[in-house]
């Protein structure tokens, strides 16, 4: 589950608003972790200004500052879910406590290595 949004909206929140929203997020994890649906290994990402992009260049990899796609919405975090199928994962994702800076969740299956 990729947590997407405009990190500028997140940055504009007051400390109290951030704490309130994070309490809602912690509540979401408290709801779903005991069910075994949330897998360890997710992460909250630093703002897009801290990113580096590596692209193929004519003479090898080229590294630039930031994500250079002209987007407001970027991936801000990742949560790994353990579900029977993508539809179940989407139903769980639909319970996420959206707030400023969190406008969409993208749910994708992980490629299985067959191990």
Model confidence pLDDT, tens digit, residues 27-57: 999 999 999 999 887 788 888 778 888 888 8
- Does residue 94 sit within a domain? yes
What span, in angstroms and rounded, lies between the C-alpha atoms of 97 and 115?
34
pTM assigned to the model: 0.79
Residue 112, domain member (yes or no): no
| Tens digits of residue pLDDT in 63-100 | 887 666 656 778 888 999 999 999 999 999 999 999 99
Residue 48 placed within a domain: no
As for how many domains the chain has, the answer is: 1
Q: Between β-strands 104-106 and 60-65, what pairing exists: parallel, antiparallel or unpaired? A: unpaired
Q: Please give the sequence-ordered ranges of beta strands (E in DSSP) within 19-103, or none if there are none.
A: 38-44, 52-57, 60-65, 74-81
Asked if residue 83 belongs to a domain, the reply is yes
Residue 49 lies in a domain: no
**Domain assignment present for 114:** no
Q: Which domain holds residue 93?
A: 2-43+70-106
Whose tokens are 């993208």? That residue is 106
CATH number at residue 80: 3.30.70.1060
């Amino acid at each position: 589950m990729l947590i997407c949004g405009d990190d500028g909206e997140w940055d504009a929140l007051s400390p109290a608003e951030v704490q309130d929203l994070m309490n809602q997020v912690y509540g979401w994890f408290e709801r779903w972790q005991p069910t075994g649906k949330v897998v360890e290994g997710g992460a909250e990402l630093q703002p897009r200004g801290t990113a580096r992009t590596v692209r193929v260049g004519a003479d090898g990899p080229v590294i630039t500052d930031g994500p250079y796609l002209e987007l407001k919405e970027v991936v801000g975090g990742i949560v790994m879910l353990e579900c029977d199928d993508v539809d179940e994962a989407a139903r769980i994702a639909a319970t996420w406590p959206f707030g400023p800076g969190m406008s969409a969740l993208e749910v994708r299956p992980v490629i299985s290595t067959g191990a």
